[in-house]
Amino acid sequence: MAINLTNLNSRSLQLDQARSTQQKANVNSGNSAQTSPRRVAQGDSVNITSQAKNLTAMEHDLAQGTPVNESKVESLKKAIADGSYQVDANKLAKNMSNFESLLS
């Protein structure tokens, strides 16, 4: 995500000065109730990258739920429970290696 930080320090200084001036005015006028300073938009911007947009879309899709093959899930649970599920160690190792290479 890209954030434009141009002139951030000068804007913070301007806000601090405005707050200080407002507080002094409140004290001088006898107004003891605190008022919050008004924030004026000064052209700050946030740029959302396409990667962030894709991530948001994927999060939305995941929140909607993915289709699940319930019959396959049940058959796998049954095979695991009765001990008939067999793991192909070579295939598992190859898939783990392929996945690891995708991460780097």
User: Is residue 55 predicted with pLDDT exceeding 80?
Assistant: yes
Residue count of the chain, please give it.
104
Query: What's the pLDDT at 94?
Result: 96
* 53 and 79 share one domain: no
* 26 and 37 share one domain: yes
Between the CA of residue 2 and those of 11, 45, 48, 55, 59, what are the distances in Å? 19, 9, 6, 15, 20
The full DSSP string for 39-98 is P---S--EE--HHHHHHHHHHHHHHH-----HHHHHHHHHHHHHT-----HHHHHHHHHH
* 41 and 75 share one domain: no
Query: What's the pLDDT at 10?
Result: 60
Query: What's the pLDDT at 84?
Result: 96
* 11 and 41 share one domain: yes
* 45 and 78 share one domain: no
Q: Give the mean model confidence (pLDDT) for residues 27-39.
A: 58
Domain range for 24? 1-66
* 78 and 56 share one domain: no
Domains held by the chain: number: 2
Q: Give the mean model confidence (pLDDT) for residues 55-66.
A: 85
Query: What's the pLDDT at 67?
Result: 78
* 20 and 51 share one domain: yes
Query: What's the pLDDT at 65?
Result: 80
Query: What's the pLDDT at 6?
Result: 55
